[in-house]
Amino acid sequence: MALGFFKKKADPQTPPEAPPEKKGGGFFGLFRKKDNAGEAPEAAPAPPQPEAPAEPAPEKRGIFARLTKAISKTSMIFRRKVMGLVGLGKKIDAETLDKLEEAMLEADLGVATTEHLMEVLRSAWKNASIETTDQIVPFIRKDLKERLTRRGNSISYAPSGTTVVLVVGVNGVGKTTSIAKIARHFVREGKKVVLAAADTFRAAAVKQLQTWSERIGCEVVAGADKADPASVAYKGAERALELNADVLLVDTAGRLHTQKNLMDELTKITKVLGNKIPGAPHETILVLDATTGQNAVTQAEMFKAAASVTGLFLAKLDGTAKGGAVLTINEKVAVPVKFVGLGEGFDDIQPFNAETFVDALFNIENGDTEGDAAASAEAR
């Protein structure tokens, strides 16, 4: 947020003979005292000061606040069931760890994630790396952050030229809306984006993309009704190259992994894109509905095997108490989450940040050295 937003309006009582304040004072200019009317003006204005180095902090806090709000249901359950067990300074014993394991399962962290966390917790307790309950939350936070960042959550861009992102998913997960949000994200980053509407069997999807593209500021390539999706993808690649676009997003029809003809269609689209743009698609993003919880894990497993999925868009994260699916998918499927949807608006999308997600799960902002203990006390 620009610092100028917080400047006070000029005092109407300021004597007219007072010299006008020079612009460019930067951060420290906000706190400069006014000259007294009887004092002589300074011989030379103070040199411009550099902007405060912590300028990005408001945006970071904003992302944390939005994510905390979005997964508040998951966070509330997690903190009530899990963090309520970790009192301040109590000695860890086997009974405490057993209760903690049960609480993690009730908080929908998933069997795989819970088993992993309990394994490392019990090992750390036995070798005396942790001894008291107030050490449990920092230990879990550190472990989850390390595991969620292991595979990388950033988009894999092409070494040069256009980066192609193929978007897939089952029917009803909000795939077309999600692709519009992804397009909006890239446009906000200053990238030139082309959309290929290869969901040719659903006219509404094409119309949606055409309408949204006007608001987002990108071009849509569409084909005739029920045209070959691969041909639309090819035309999209051609147009992206003509425009020297940074990103080509390819929408596809919803499908189940068991529908062989539709999965073969994806294979054809992938081949066509690769023939036109070397290395394409550089990302294959699977859109998942976060409200389906562990069912999303099954979809991710199946699509990874059938469509070589490289990343996930976890939609509707703001409307679920099953945000723990992020952890389970990471543990079982080994496909990184690239984006999360935090609402219905175009701007309600965030590139997934593992550290921010874990901090939001505990409702403890990164760097808060007292937050672990405070959150444990709050949950009690």
Asked if residue 333 and residue 263 are part of one domain, the reply reads yes
Asked if residue 183 and residue 141 are part of one domain, the reply reads no
Asked if residue 232 and residue 307 are part of one domain, the reply reads yes
Asked if residue 128 and residue 262 are part of one domain, the reply reads no
pLDDT band at 184 (very low <50, low <70, confident <90, very high): very high
Asked if residue 134 and residue 250 are part of one domain, the reply reads no
Question: 247-251 and 193-197 as β-strands: parallel, antiparallel, unpaired?
Answer: parallel
Asked if residue 137 and residue 83 are part of one domain, the reply reads yes
How far apart are the C-alpha atoms of 25 and 291, rounded to whole Å? 49
Contacts of 80 (CB under 8 A, 6+ apart): 379
Q: What's the distance, CA 192 to chain centroid?
A: 21
Contacts of 97 (CB under 8 A, 6+ apart): 118, 121, 122, 125
**Model confidence pLDDT, tens digit, residues 26-44:** 433 433 444 444 444 444 4
CB 303 within 8 A of CB 167: no
Residue 373 has pLDDT above 70, yes or no: no
Q: pTM score, two decimals?
A: 0.74
Residue 96 has pLDDT above 80, yes or no: yes
pLDDT band at 89 (very low <50, low <70, confident <90, very high): confident
Asked if residue 216 and residue 140 are part of one domain, the reply reads no
269 exposure class (CB count in 10 Å sphere: 0-12, 13-18, 19+):
buried
Could you tell me the residue range of the domain that residue 109 belongs to?
59-148
CATH number of the domain that residue 100 is part of: 1.20.120.140
Residue 17 has pLDDT above 50, yes or no: no
**Model confidence pLDDT, tens digit, residues 214-230:** 999 999 999 988 899 99
pLDDT band at 66 (very low <50, low <70, confident <90, very high): low
Who has greater pLDDT, 128 or 109?
Answer: 128
Q: What is the mean pLDDT of the chain?
A: 79
Amino acid 257: pLDDT? 77
pLDDT band at 92 (very low <50, low <70, confident <90, very high): very high
CB 197 within 8 A of CB 232: yes
Who has greater pLDDT, 339 or 37?
Answer: 339
pLDDT band at 132 (very low <50, low <70, confident <90, very high): very high
Domain presence at residue 34: no
Asked if residue 166 and residue 132 are part of one domain, the reply reads no
How far apart are the C-alpha atoms of 296 and 269, rounded to whole Å? 24
Who has greater pLDDT, 257 or 49?
Answer: 257
What is the pLDDT averaged over residues 307-336?
A: 80
Sign of CA dihedral 219, 280, 295, 341: negative
Residue (of 321, 376, 380) closest to 140 by Cα position: 376
Identify the top-confidence range among 22-26, 287-291, 292-296.
287-291
Percent of the chain with pLDDT over 70: 74
Domain presence at residue 73: yes
- Exposed e or buried b per residue across 41-62, where buried means at least 16 C-beta atoms within 10 angstroms of its C-beta: eeeeeeeeeeeeeeeeeeeeee
Contacts of 220 (CB under 8 A, 6+ apart): 194, 195, 196, 197, 206, 209, 210, 213
Q: How many CB atoms lie within 10 A of CB 142?
A: 11
Domain count, the chain: 2
Asked if residue 251 and residue 187 are part of one domain, the reply reads yes
